[in-house]
Amino acid sequence: MKEGKLIILSAPSGAGKTTIVKYLTENIPNLTFSVSATTREPRKGEKEAVDYYFLSVEEFGAKIENKEFIEYENVYPGLYYGTLHSEVDRIWNSGKDAAIDMDVMGGMHLKEIFGERALSIFIKPPSIEVLEQRLRKRGTETEEKISMRLMKAEKEIESAPKFDVVVLNDMLEIAIQEVVSEVTEFLAK
């Protein structure tokens, strides 16, 4: 059986990584979405074990103690995200490759851990102004959270060169085509 690969899509919040990873997993047959764990509240329409594993801070802490995470990050104060060993193992044991969307620090950390088995892709927004418009349009964030996400995004964009591939998401269809091309090439190796 071939060794499973990992596709990592990272970006500032609102840059389009979730939309792009959804397209990938729906259109590349051997690619399966790796569901992350988080302590944030579900957004409207999000489902448990489909979009995220929604955990309390206590449950997340217990999983840290039990070393159940490959990596985890305290992305915002009191707000944790992490990649579970069990989730990636489930996908690889089924003979498939895993795709995950995650914050920038987590993406760099996963790439360090998996090296050549992973392709790290940074989805870059056209500008901070466009990112702000996207976050506002989403309608899920308070003013405080929008401002916190934008401050963080400026720092995250500086990390783009540390990724294997940087794709500008100015026009979603073009960004998706670029990502599909890079992922297809990587999985064929």
Query: At 141, which CATH number?
Result: 3.40.50.300
Evaluate whether residue 85 is within a structural domain: yes
Confidence of residue 142 (pLDDT cuts 50, 70, 90): confident
| Segment (H or E) for 120 | strand 118-124
Confidence of residue 140 (pLDDT cuts 50, 70, 90): confident
Angle CA 38–148–170, to nearest 5: 90
The answer to whether residue 70 scores a pLDDT higher than 60 is: yes
Evaluate whether residue 182 is within a structural domain: yes
Ramachandran sector of residue 120 (left: φ over 0; alpha: ψ -120 to 50; beta: rest): beta
Evaluate whether residue 18 is within a structural domain: yes
Confidence of residue 1 (pLDDT cuts 50, 70, 90): low
Evaluate whether residue 16 is within a structural domain: yes
Evaluate whether residue 1 is within a structural domain: no
Average pLDDT over residues 138-166: 90
First to last CA, the chain: 15
The answer to whether residue 53 scores a pLDDT higher than 90 is: yes
Evaluate whether residue 99 is within a structural domain: yes
Do residues 34 and 22 lie in contact, with contact meaning Cβ atoms separated by under 8 Å?
no
CB contact set of 19 (below 8 Å; sequence gap of 6+): 172
